[in-house]
C-alpha cells in the first residue's frame, strides 16, 4: 500500500487498485461518493491517453457495513524496479529520459487545444495560480510554520511576470499551451522494454492541466532535481525542447521549475498537517528550490561599457557565454544599419562618418529597441557599447524599468599603456576605433559612478569573475544556468 494526500493505492498480485480519500482540501472535494466515482472515471479516461495498456477500467470494493460500494481505479501493476525514481538513484538514465521527453513532446504536439486551453496560458492566469498558492501556503502556515524564503519567492514571481506579457502572448500564438499531463513525477513513470509508461495525470481540475507544454515538462525536471539529479533535470528539459522544437528562453524554464517546486511545497504542507513524517522538511527544501530557480530566471539587462581598448567587447562576449544570454553589440549594429558587413572597415575621424552624433544616437536607439523586445520575451541581454553618454545610460534604465529587468552596469578600464598596446596591435575588424579616437574619447568621458568598475588588464577569468559577482549576486544561491540545445537548420 502507498498513500498520497488524496489517494490510497493497494498492490495485489498483478494489479493496483486506487481509492480516493473522502477529503476536502479546498482545491478538491471528495467527501461525496459521487465525486469520488466521477474522479475515478475521469482518471481512467485521461490516463489512457498516455498509458492505455495500464489503465484497465473502473472497479469497486464492497464492505458489509457500507451503504454503497466504493469506486476505485483498476490498473496493471508496474514493476517496481523499473520505476524512474528508483532508476535515477541507481545511475545514468539519459536514454530513459530521452524516451520520456520524446513521448511527452509527441503528446503535446497532438494534445487538444482551444480557447479554454489558451486562457490558462496567459500571464494573468499563471499569476492567479501563483497567487492562489501563496494564499494557500499562508493559510496552511497559520499554525506558525512558514518556510524561509516565501516572501522573496512572492517578490521575484511578481517582478518576472510584470514584464513578460509579450512572452506569454507569444506562447499562445505558437500553440504551446496544451491539455497536458499536469503532474509529471518520476515516481509515476516506468521504463519498460518497449518504452516508457507515464501514469497518474492530474484529473481533478482541467484548468490545472491546461498548461504550457514547457510547464508540464518542468514538473519532471523539478522532481529529478529533488531526487539529487540536477544534471538529469537539465538534460530532460533540453531533450524536450529539442523534440518539441520549443524556442522558449531559459528564464521560462527556470520560472516553471520554480512554480512546480512551490506547488509541491504546498502539497508537502498539506501532508504535514495530515501527520506525514518529514513533510515540513520537504516543504523547506522545495521552497529553497523555487527560490534558487526564480533568482536565475530574473531577466537582466547588463551594460558593458568602456573606451576603445578597455576590453569591454571581450568581457561582454565572455560574460554572455557564461550566463547563456544574448549579446548585442553597438559596433555590429552600427554597420548593420549602414548596410555593410560587420568586418568591413568604416574608418573615419572622431565624430565623422558612421560615428557622427546622429549615427550614434540612431545606433543606441535601435540597440535599446531590440533589447526591450528581447527582455519582454524573457531573454536576458548583455549590451556591448561605450555607454559614455549619460543620456544613453538613462534611456537604458528606462528600458529596464519598463520590462521589469534587473539593470547592472559594468565599466571596463585599463592603464593607459595597456590601451596603447592593445590598439596598436589590433587588426582591423568590427571596431574602427584607433588610438587617436580612443584618446579623443578619453578626454571627453564623463564619470559613471553607478557602474561597477572592472579592471580588464589581467586574466580574462578574473574580470569575468568580478562581473559575475555583480550580475549574479546570489552566487551558489542560484540554480545552474539552463542552456538550450543547439540545433542545426535543415
What is the CATH number for 120? Answer: 3.90.1200.10
217 & 140 share domain? yes
Quick one: pLDDT at residue 475? 84
Instruction: Return the H-helix or E-strand segment holding 255.
Output: helix 250-273
100 & 227 share domain? yes
Quick one: pLDDT at residue 309? 83
CB burial class (10 A; 0-12, 13-18, 19+) of residue 66? exposed
68 & 84 share domain? no
Higher-pLDDT residue of 482, 295: 295
For residue 71, is it within any domain? yes
Q: How many domains does the chain have?
A: 3
Quick one: pLDDT at residue 342? 65
Helices 250-273 and 279-297, interaxial angle, to 10°?
160
pLDDT digits (tens, 9 = 90+) for 429-457: 677 666 767 777 777 788 899 999 999 99
Given a contact cutoff of 8 angstroms between Cβ atoms, the answer to whether 184 and 47 are in contact is no
233 & 169 share domain? yes
> Could you tell me which residues come within 8 angstroms of residue 114 by beta carbon, excluding any fewer than 6 positions away?
none
For residue 487, is it within any domain? no
46 & 189 share domain? no
Residue 91 scores a pLDDT above 90: no
Residue 490 scores a pLDDT above 60: no
User: If we measure between CA atoms, which residue out of 282, 241, 236 comes closest to residue 261?
Assistant: 282
Start-end of H helices in 91-203: 94-110, 115-119, 123-140, 150-162, 165-173
- Across the range 119-127, mean pLDDT stands at 96
Q: Which of 277, 297, 317 is at the close of a domain?
A: 297
Residue with cell 569575468: 464
255 & 267 share domain? yes
| CA atoms within 13 Å, Cβ hemisphere of 163 | 29
Measured distance CA(482)–CA(379) in Å, rounded: 13
DSSP structure string for 289-343? HHHHHHHHH--EEEEEE--TTSSHHHHHHHHHHHHT-EEEEHHHHHHHHHTS-TT
- The dihedrals phi and psi of 35, each to the nearest 5 degrees, come to -70, -35
169-183, 242-256, 270-284, 382-396: segment of lowest average pLDDT: 270-284
Quick one: pLDDT at residue 405? 97
Q: In degrees, to the nearest 5, what angle opens at C-alpha 379 toward C-alphas 168 and 134?
A: 55
257 & 351 share domain? no
Quick one: pLDDT at residue 205? 87
For residue 484, is it within any domain? no
Residue 142 scores a pLDDT above 70: no
235 & 349 share domain? no
- Across the range 74-103, mean pLDDT stands at 94
Quick one: pLDDT at residue 444? 79
124-128, 306-310, 422-426: segment of lowest average pLDDT: 422-426
- Across the range 140-147, mean pLDDT stands at 70
435 & 314 share domain? yes
Residue 428 scores a pLDDT above 70: no
Quick one: pLDDT at residue 155? 97
> Could you tell me which residues come within 8 angstroms of residue 441 by beta carbon, excluding any fewer than 6 positions away?
307, 308, 350, 386, 388, 433
Neighbour tally for 156: CB within 10 Å? 20
For residue 483, is it within any domain? no
Q: Which of 276, 297, 318 is at the close of a domain?
A: 297
CB burial class (10 A; 0-12, 13-18, 19+) of residue 461? exposed
- Across the range 341-357, mean pLDDT stands at 69
Quick one: pLDDT at residue 487? 56
For residue 215, is it within any domain? yes
Q: In whole angstroms, how far apart are CA 158 and each of 53, 152, 165, 288, 303?
A: 42, 10, 12, 17, 24
- Across the range 127-143, mean pLDDT stands at 87
pLDDT band at 345 (very low <50, low <70, confident <90, very high): low
Measured distance CA(487)–CA(490) in Å, rounded: 9
For residue 99, is it within any domain? yes
For residue 315, is it within any domain? yes
Look up residue 141 and give its three cell numbers: 502556515
For residue 225, is it within any domain? yes
Given a contact cutoff of 8 angstroms between Cβ atoms, the answer to whether 199 and 190 are in contact is yes
pLDDT, mean over the chain: 91
- Across the range 99-122, mean pLDDT stands at 95
33-42, 138-147, 404-413: segment of lowest average pLDDT: 138-147
Full residue range of the structural domain in which residue 89 is found: 80-297
Measured distance CA(210)–CA(142) in Å, rounded: 30
- Across the range 215-221, mean pLDDT stands at 97
pLDDT band at 486 (very low <50, low <70, confident <90, very high): low
Higher-pLDDT residue of 426, 189: 189
436 & 350 share domain? yes
Quick one: pLDDT at residue 179? 96
277 & 265 share domain? yes
274 & 422 share domain? no
Residue 347 scores a pLDDT above 70: no
Q: Which of 60, 75, 90 is at the close of a domain?
A: 75
Measured distance CA(12)–CA(457) in Å, rounded: 71
Cα-Cα end-to-end distance for the chain: 50
pLDDT band at 310 (very low <50, low <70, confident <90, very high): confident
Amino acid at each position: 500500500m502507498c498513500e498520497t494526500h488524496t489517494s490510497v493505492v493497494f498492490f495485489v498480485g498483478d494489479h493496483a487498485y486506487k481509492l480516493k480519500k473522502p477529503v476536502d482540501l479546498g482545491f478538491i472535494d471528495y467527501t461525496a461518493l459521487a465525486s469520488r466515482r466521477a474522479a475515478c472515471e475521469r482518471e481512467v479516461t485521461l490516463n489512457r491517453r498516455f498509458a492505455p495498456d495500464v489503465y484497465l477500467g473502473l472497479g469497486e470494493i464492497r464492505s458489509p457495513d457500507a451503504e454503497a460500494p466504493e469506486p476505485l481505479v483498476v490498473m496493471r501493476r508496474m514493476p517496481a524496479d523499473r520505476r524512474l525514481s528508483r532508476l535515477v538513484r541507481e545511475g545514468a538514465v539519459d536514454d530513459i529520459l530521452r524516451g520520456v521527453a520524446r513521448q511527452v513532446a509527441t503528446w503535446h504536439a497532438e494534445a487538444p487545444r482551444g480557447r479554454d486551453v489558451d486562457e490558462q496560458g496567459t500571464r494573468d492566469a499563471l499569476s492567479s495560480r501563483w497567487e492562489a498558492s501563496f494564499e494557500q501556503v499562508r493559510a496552511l502556515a497559520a499554525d506558525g510554520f512558514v518556510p524561509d524564503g516565501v516572501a522573496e519567492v512572492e517578490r521575484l514571481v511578481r517582478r518576472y511576470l510584470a514584464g513578460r506579457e509579450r512572452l506569454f502572448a507569444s506562447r499562445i500564438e505558437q500553440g504551446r499551451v496544451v491539455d497536458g499531463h499536469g503532474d509529471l513525477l518520476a515516481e509515476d513513470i516506468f521504463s519498460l522494454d518497449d518504452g516508457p509508461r507515464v501514469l497518474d495525470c492530474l484529473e481533478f481540475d482541467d484548468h490545472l492541466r491546461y498548461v504550457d507544454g514547457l510547464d508540464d515538462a518542468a514538473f519532471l525536471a523539478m522532481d529529478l532535481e529533488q531526487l539529487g539529479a540536477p544534471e538529469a533535470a537539465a538534460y530532460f528539459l533540453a531533450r524536450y525542447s529539442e523534440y518539441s522544437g520549443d524556442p522558449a528562453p531559459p528564464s521560462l524554464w527556470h520560472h516553471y521549475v520554480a512554480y512546480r517546486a512551490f506547488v509541491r511545497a504546498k502539497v508537502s504542507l498539506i501532508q504535514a498537517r495530515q501527520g506525514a513524517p518529514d513533510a515540513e522538511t520537504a516543504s523547506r527544501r522545495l521552497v529553497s528550490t523555487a527560490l534558487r530557480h526564480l533568482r536565475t530566471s530574473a531577466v537582466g539587462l547588463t551594460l558593458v561599457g568602456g573606451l576603445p581598448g578597455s576590453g569591454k567587447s571581450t568581457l561582454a562576449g565572455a560574460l554572455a557565454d557564461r550566463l547563456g544570454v544574448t549579446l548585442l553589440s553597438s559596433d555590429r549594429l552600427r554597420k548593420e544599419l549602414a548596410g555593410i558587413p560587420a568586418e568591413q572597415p568604416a574608418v573615419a575621424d572622431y565624430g565623422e562618418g558612421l560615428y557622427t552624433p546622429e549615427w550614434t544616437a540612431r545606433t543606441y536607439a535601435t540597440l535599446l529597441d531590440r533589447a526591450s523586445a528581447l527582455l519582454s520575451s524573457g531573454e536576458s541581454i548583455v549590451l556591448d557599447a561605450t555607454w559614455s553618454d549619460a543620456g544613453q545610460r538613462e534611456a537604458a534604465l528606462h528600458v529596464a524599468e519598463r520590462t521589469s529587468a534587473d539593470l547592472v552596469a559594468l565599466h571596463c578600464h585599463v592603464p593607459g599603456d595597456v590601451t596603447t598596446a592593445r590598439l596598436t596591435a589590433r587588426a582591423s575588424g568590427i571596431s574602427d576605433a584607433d588610438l587617436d579616437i580612443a584618446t579623443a574619447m578619453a578626454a571627453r568621458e564623463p564619470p559613471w559612478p553607478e557602474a561597477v568598475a572592472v579592471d580588464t588588464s589581467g586574466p580574462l577569468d578574473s574580470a569575468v569573475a568580478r562581473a559575475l559577482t555583480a550580475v549574479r549576486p546570489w552566487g551558489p544561491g542560484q540554480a545552474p544556468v539552463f542552456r538550450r540545445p543547439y540545433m542545426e537548420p535543415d
